[in-house]
Every structure is written in C-alpha cells, then in structure tokens.
Amino acid sequence: MHLSFTPPRQVKIGDAAAFVGSTPRAIRHYHEIGLLPEPERGGDDRRRYGYEDMIRLLWIRKMADAGIALDDIRDAFTTGTASIGADSGEDIAGILERLEETLAEQEAELRRQRTAVQRMRTEGSRMGLLSDFVTDRLKGLPEGSLRQADLDTLLVTERIFSPLGAAVQATRFIVLATHPTLREESDRVDDAEEALDDSVAVDDPRVAQVAAERHAFDSALHAVIEESGLDKDEDALFDAWDILHPATADGSEDEADLSAGRREAGSMSVHEAIGKMPYDFSPARLRCMELAMELSIQDASAPGNTAVDGAVDGAVGDHSDAYIPECGDHSAAPAGEAGPVRGSTRSS
C-alpha cells in the first residue's frame, strides 16, 4: 500500500510556526536568544526546519504555555546536553518546581486581591479601602451618616498611625454621625479654620479666637464621648490590637514601634509618613492648631483634671509640637513621632 501523500522532509518557517501554533517572529526570537539553533538554509537562503527542529519547537511552545521563562527553557536545554533528551530532565524538573512555587505565590496574591475587591463591593468603595479593624468600629452607623471626607481622613490616618490609630480616631466620626448638633458645630469651626488662609497674619486676633472655638468644640465632643462610654470602647481597641499584634518574645520593642501601633514590617515610620504627606496649611492655621493644643494641655494640667492628665502626657510625650488636628479634610499635621495612645481622643 502506497501513501497518497508524502510529507516534506523540511518546511519553511511559516509552516513550522503554523504547525506548533506560534509565529515566525517568535521563532526568529528563539534563534536570537540561543533557544533554538539556526537550521540549515535552502538554495533560496530561507530557513528549513526538520523533524528534530519541530520537536524542539513543540517543547518550547508547551513549556512557555506553562509559564516557564524562555531563559529558563534555554538553560535547561543547554545544561549538560545540546539537545532535548533524558539528560535535561533534572534541569527541567528544577525549573518546574520553582515555577510551581511562583504560581502558588501568585495564586495567594490573587486570592488577597479578590478578597479586597469583595470587601469594597460589600462595604462600599470608600469604606472597603479601610482595614477590617477600622470598619468593624464603624458598623451599625446609620447609612449615609459618614461623609466621604470622614472616610478619606481615616484612610490617611490608617496609613500614618496604623489601623489602631484610625480605629481610635473613628470615635470622633461616630459621635459626629449620631449627633447632628455637634456635626453642625464641627462644620462651623472647620470653615473658620479654612478661612485662616495665607492672607491672615499669624498674630491676627482671629487666630486666637478660632483656636478657642476649636478647643471649646473638642471639649464638648470629648464630654459626649465619655458620657456615651465610647472611651471604654477605645480601651478595648488597644486590648484587641495587642492580641492581634503581640510584643516580641523578649519584649524588646522600642518606643517608636509602640507609639506607631506596631507598624507592619517595611512600612514607614510616623515621622517619615508625615514628611511625605502634603498639608496645605497656612502659617496662621498652623498657629491656630498650636494654640488649641496649648489650651488642651492647660486644661488637662489644671487641678482636678488628673484623670486626663496622664492621657495628655502620653499623647504629647517629649514632642510639644505633636498634634493630630481634627479639622477639615485633614487627619494629621507636621508632628513628632507620636502615635495612638490610650485616651488619645480625650486629649487631642
């Protein structure tokens, strides 16, 4: 019995590419990087590919489809042997092992990303950007009671002071979301601070006036926090954070780590983060913040206020210029290495 069709002994690059499911351009690239030896050329000076060339091309295509880098395929082919065969099996096995580890890492990252997207869809795009530690604090609030600016502020605070700092700061927004009168007064004071732009001198009487208004508002806010028992919830936050982020076995954590709420490995310090976050505060507004902080310290240091005195000392420490202004759309201002401390919302 005779074959009605006799296959060619060699084929041109276009036919080779079509057979293996590749392109002539890809095959030329294999030649350039030494992955596929240059074949002999015919009388027309065009490449001709034989059976062994096609086998190698099929190997390359299958391995590339599996995610193996072309350089790794080339190394596997050239280590110990000039052709594909049993001798290259161990090299390919090692590459496959590394590839499997890489794919497992990519799969874990994809799961993390999918979880993040699901949280954003469930919680809302803005709320879902915050960590669970913060969003758990905000659950139960009336729908729409949190403003976009509130969530933006918490997002910045979480980046600078860790989720613990943002969860503590959330106490303020919980009160504002549930007390319309306080929210109205907060907006009024915010507007007054915004009006202290670059056209206002630092020693303008309005600076001290707005500082006094800010201090009076904060005092009223903190009184509501204490009356509602939210300050006790803050203590529970610190305890929960300690459970999630225990101290090292030898207890050797420096003050900066503690003040920043035990930052994640590789994250910036508070000082570094604040130094990279722009704040468009005029000199008059900065002076207003300083005066408001001074009034808070004076109140806390007055006789009969020992209950909050320790909280203020902890919040300020050795940094008399450290503060977290709760104004406008901003969550923090240039400050020292100060982080969340127990009672921080009662001493700002």
Residue 157 main-chain phi, psi, to 5 deg: -65, -40
- The better pLDDT of the pair 286, 41 is held by 286
Q: How confident is the model at residue 272, as a pLDDT?
A: 82
Instruction: Give the HSE-up count for residue 340: Cα atoms under 13 Å, Cβ half-sphere.
Output: 27
Question: Is the confidence at residue 258, as pLDDT, over 50?
Answer: no
Where do runs of H (alpha helix) occur along 66-204? 70-78, 89-123, 132-138, 148-178, 180-194
Of residues 138, 176, 141, the one with CA closest to residue 158: 138
- Whole-number pLDDT of residue 174: 93
Give the per-residue pLDDT at 305. 57
If pLDDT is split at 50, 70 and 90, which confidence band does 117 have?
confident
Q: For residue 306, what pLDDT is reported? A: 45
Quote the CA–CA distance of 242 and 262 in Å, as a whole number: 9
- 277 bridge partner residues: none
pLDDT at 338 over 50: no
Q: What is the pLDDT of residues 187-211, one digit of tens each?
A: 999 999 999 999 999 999 999 999 9
> Which residues 6+ apart lie within 8 Å of 180 measured at CB?
none
Cα→Cα distances 298→201, 285, 302, 347, Å: 25, 20, 6, 11
Whole-angstrom distance, CA of residue 276 vs CA of residue 51: 61
- pLDDT in the model for residue 143: 81
pLDDT attached to residue 260: 44
Whose tokens are 């459970």? That residue is 243
Q: Which position has the higher pLDDT, 51 or 67? A: 51
Residue type, 12: K
* Mean pLDDT, residues 84-90 taken together: 49
Of 173, 135, 198, the closest CA to residue 329 belongs to 173
- Percent of the chain exceeding pLDDT 90 equals 31
pTM over the 0.75 mark: no
165, 234, 303 from 171: Cα distances, Å: 11, 8, 27
DSSP string, 5-65: ----SSB-HHHHHHHHT--HHHHHHHHHTTSSPPPPB-TTS-B-B-HHHHHHHHHHHHHHH
Give dist(CA 87, CA 77) in Å, integer. 9
Q: How far apart are CA 112 and CA 218, in angstroms?
A: 39
What is the rounded distance in angstroms from the CA atom of residue 235 to the CA atom of residue 95? 52
Mean pLDDT of 302-319: 43
Q: Give the pLDDT confidence score for residue 42 in this predicted structure.
A: 76
